[in-house]
Amino acid sequence: MTDELNLAEFARWAIENGSWDGSLGLDGGDIQEKAVSCGILIMTKYDPEIHGNNDVDCEPGDNWYVYSPAFAAARRAKIRALEPKP
C-alpha cells in the first residue's frame, strides 16, 4: 500500500472503531498496534541517546515506537508549512 492509503486505512479504522461519547473508545495499545500495521509507526529499541528522556519508564533496549520515515517527513513538512513566514 502507498503511504496515503496506509494513512487512509488508519483513519477509516479509527473512525469506525472509536466511540463518539468516549465510553467504548480505543485505548493507546489499540491505536499503537494499528499504526504499526498501517506503517505509520515502527517499533525499534529505546536508546536514550537517540530518543531522549521518556516519561514511560522505558529502559535502554525496551521496545520503543517512532514515526515511519515517510510519515515523519510528511509531519515535518506540515509543521514547516504552518510556521510563520519572516
Q: What is the tens place of the pLDDT at every residue in 31-84?
A: 899 999 999 999 999 999 999 888 888 999 999 999 998 888 887 888 888 888
Phi, psi of 44 (to 5 degrees): -140, -170
Name the band, by pLDDT with cuts 50, 70 and 90, for residue 29.
confident
More confident position, 52 or 20 = 52
Give the Cα separation of 37 and 34 in Å (integer).
Answer: 5
- pLDDT value at position 20? 66
- Domain that includes residue 53, residue range: 3-82
Q: Which residues contact 17 (CB under 8 A, 6 or more apart)?
A: 26, 30
Helix and strand tally (H, E) in the chain? 4, 2
DSSP reduced 3-state for 60: coil
* Count of structural domains, the chain: 1
Q: Take residue 29 and report the three cell numbers written for it.
A: 495499545
Give the Cα separation of 15 and 37 in Å (integer).
Answer: 16
